[in-house]
């Protein structure tokens, strides 16, 4: 009869070789893998894809054993520390270069000479924190209020906006939401090279994803449709590929009130446009804030 501890060792050796096919080969047909980062139990090629995704994000990925023991009828409990350096994309984000050391444990059920299941346990927020990412805990909704996440990309252009482009999509699945998020990051990066671009804000609340982009003039956004990721995303939207639906539009300001800036000498607020860099007290004012 096969030794469950030896089979668990073979499993971890495959991980340490970063060999997705070898990891899959340790599982019985229909065998499953699950941990706090998976959407549920994975089986077959999905296990290999999960290994490949981690290795792409952490090319030097390795597991250091702390302890391993067989408890009863083929159940192996293994305590480990996963180590690696984030030099590849992770969760759709660019690499941070940060190193991680994540403690965790696997409960590995062995049948015959194969693994029937692996259930992993670790702090699901530890890796994002180690990479300098925010971990936000909040409800999805309370009564009429829905909650979400947002981000901003600024060119540093402090010009007064002459137009805002607003786009919203309603996604159907978490996978689709991730695709839209990755596409939006590429578009925001393209925007940084466009004359007349001021700044971009992306918001996700529930199934709705929205972007609001500030421009110097309505015409400044015309290059978006000539190529790049934005034009590609529009094509995917009108194909059967992307979202339940959505809308886009261009808005011009009806009224923009003054940009107020606080004097660091007397603590009074000043109209940055009228003051022209100097407070009534005679002190120099900080640079005006960006509108968007």
Residue ranges of domains in the chain: 4-130, 147-251, 259-292
Pairing of strands 197-205, 148-154: antiparallel
| Model-wide pTM > 0.85 | no
Burial zone of 35 (CB within 10 Å; 0-12 exposed, 13-18 middle, 19+ buried): middle
- Left if phi > 0, otherwise alpha if psi is -120 to 50, otherwise beta: which for 227? left
Rounded to 5 degrees, φ, ψ at 100 are: -125, 155
- What parts of the chain have a pLDDT lower than 50? none
**209 CB-near residues (< 8 Å, 6+ apart):** 168, 169, 170, 171, 177, 180, 181, 184, 202, 203
Token digits of residue 248: 């886009």
**175 CB-near residues (< 8 Å, 6+ apart):** none
Q: Are 122 and 102 in contact (CB under 8 A)?
A: yes
Q: Are 44 and 37 in contact (CB under 8 A)?
A: no
Tell me what pLDDT residue 137 has: 77
Tell whether domain 4-130 is in CATH 3.40.50.150.
no
What is the H or E stretch that residue 126 is in? helix 126-130
Choose the CATH number for 147-251 among 1.20.1070.10, 3.30.70.100, 1.10.10.10, 3.40.50.720: 3.30.70.100
What are the CA-CA distances from residue 130 to residues 17, 108, 116, 135, 279 (Å)? 23, 27, 32, 11, 44
Bridge partner residues of 213 (DSSP): 165, 200
């Amino acid at each position: 009869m096969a030794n469950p501890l030896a089979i668990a060792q073979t499993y971890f050796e495959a991980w340490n070789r970063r060999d997705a096919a070898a990891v899959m080969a340790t599982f019985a047909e229909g065998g499953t893998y699950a941990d706090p980062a998976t959407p549920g139990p994975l089986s077959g090629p999905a296990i290999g894809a999960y290994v490949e995704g981690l290795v792409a994000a952490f090319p030097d990925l390795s597991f250091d054993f702390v302890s391993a023991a067989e408890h009863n009828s083929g159940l192996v409990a293994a305590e480990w520390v996963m180590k690696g350096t984030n030099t590849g994309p992770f969760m759709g984000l660019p690499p941070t270069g940060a190193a991680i050391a994540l403690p965790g444990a696997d409960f590995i059920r062995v049948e015959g000479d194969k693994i029937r299941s692996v259930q992993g346990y670790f702090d699901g927020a530890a890796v994002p924190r180690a990479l300098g990412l925010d971990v936000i805990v909040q409800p999805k909704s309370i009564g009429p209020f829905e909650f979400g996440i947002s981000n901003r990309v600024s060119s540093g252009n402090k010009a007064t906006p002459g137009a805002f482009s607003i786009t919203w999509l309603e996604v159907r699945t978490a996978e689709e939401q991730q695709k839209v998020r990755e596409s939006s990051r590429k578009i925001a990066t393209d925007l940084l090279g466009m004359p007349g671009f001021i700044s971009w804000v992306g918001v996700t609340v529930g199934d709705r994803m929205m972007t609001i982009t500030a421009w110097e003039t309505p015409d400044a956004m015309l290059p978006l449709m000539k190529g790049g990721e934005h034009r590609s995303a529009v094509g995917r939207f009108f194909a059967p590929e992307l979202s339940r639906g959505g809308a886009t539009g261009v808005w011009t300001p009806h009224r923009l009130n003054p940009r107020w800036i606080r004097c660091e000498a007397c603590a009074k607020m000043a109209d940055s446009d009228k003051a022209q860099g100097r407070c009534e007290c005679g002190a120099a004012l900080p640079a005006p804030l960006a509108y968007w």
